[in-house]
Amino acid sequence: MSGELRLLHVHAHPDDESSKGAASTARYVAEGVEVLVATCTGGERGSILNPKMDRPEVLANITEIRRKEMDAAREILGIRQEWLGWVDSGYPEGDPLPPLPDGCFAALKVEDAAAPLVKLIREFRPQVVTTYDENGGYPHPDHVMCHQITVAAFEAAGDADAYPELGAPWQPLKLYYHHTFHRERMKALHDEMIARGLKSPYEERLKDWKPDPENERRITTRVECAEYFGVRDQALLAHATQIDPDGAWFDVPLAVHQAAWPTEDYELARSVVESEAPENDLFAGLR
List residues forming the annotated binding site for Zn(2+): 13, 16, 143
Cis amide prior to 126 (ω within 30 degrees) = no
Those residues with Cβ within 8 angstroms of residue 269's Cβ, 6 or more apart along the chain or in another chain: 133, 151, 175, 176, 177
Which positions make up the binding site? Answer: 13, 16, 143
Q: At what angle do helices 229-238 and 22-30 cross, to 10 degrees?
A: 120
What distance in Å separates the CA atoms of residue 43 and residue 66, rounded to the nearest whole number?
7
Report strand pairing: 80-86 vs 34-41: parallel
The one-letter amino acid code at 18 reads S
Q: Do 69 and 241 contact (CB within 8 A), yes or no?
A: yes
Q: Taking the CA of residue 250 as centre, how many other CA atoms within 13 Å lie in the half-sphere pointing to its CB?
A: 12
Those residues with Cβ within 8 angstroms of residue 4's Cβ, 6 or more apart along the chain or in another chain: none
What distance in Å separates the CA atoms of residue 49 and residue 32, rounded to the nearest whole number?
34
What would you report as the CA-atom Rg of the chain, rounded to the nearest whole angstrom? 19
CA–CA–CA angle 181, 186, 192 (5° rounding) = 150
